[in-house]
């Protein structure tokens, strides 16, 4: 999958749930989000990648009450289809929504 996905869960901190095939996705993640700012909703094109950030569509919050952010770096054909946060929600979120629903409140 041409997708890097970073988020938090109910009791666990920021981590990568998809690596986009990278052994270490952090450099690609940082490069895509460089210059994107820290707004809660972002769609930022960086070269052939698109960085997309939005709050959890189900309104989930962590144990401290903070909104759960989802941050994605999409590349390839998927990136060509994402130009706005709304398109990210419509195109990317369905790819991971069920998985997140299963794991967001796990302690591990």
| pTM metric for this prediction | 0.94
pLDDT of residue 29: 97
Please give the structure tokens belonging to residue 42.
């972002």
pLDDT of residue 30: 97
Task: Provide the number of structural domains found in the chain.
Answer: 1
Identify whether 7 is part of a domain.
yes
The ranges of the chain with pLDDT < 70 are 1, 107-108
Q: Is residue 108 part of a domain?
A: no
Looking at residue 64, what is its pLDDT? 94
Sign of the torsion formed by the C-alpha atoms of 80, 41, 20 and 106 = negative
Q: In this structure, is residue 34 part of a structural domain? A: yes
DSSP secondary structure string for all residues of 1-32 = --EEEEE--SSS--EEEEETT-SS-HHHHHHH
Residue 7: per-residue pLDDT: 97
Query: Does residue 78 sit in helix, strand or coil?
Result: helix
Helix (H, G, I), strand (E, B) or coil at 71: strand
> Does the residue 18 lie in any domain?
yes
10 within a domain of the structure (yes/no): yes
Q: Is residue 94 part of a domain?
A: yes
- Which domain, by its residues, includes 23? 3-103
46 in any annotated domain:
yes
CA distance linking residue 86 with residue 90, whole number of Å? 6
């Amino acid at each position: 999958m041409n997708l890097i996905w970073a988020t938090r869960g109910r009791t666990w901190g920021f981590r990568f749930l998809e690596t986009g095939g990278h052994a270490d996705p952090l450099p690609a993640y940082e490069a895509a989000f460089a210059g994107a700012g820290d707004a809660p909703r972002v769609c930022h094109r960086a070269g052939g990648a698109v960085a997309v950030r939005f709050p959890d569509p189900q309104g989930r919050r962590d144990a401290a009450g903070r909104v759960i952010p989802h941050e994605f770096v999409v590349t390839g054909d998927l990136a060509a289809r994402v130009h706005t946060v709304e398109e990210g929600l419509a195109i990317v979120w369905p790819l991971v929504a069920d998985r997140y629903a299963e794991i967001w409140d796990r302690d591990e």
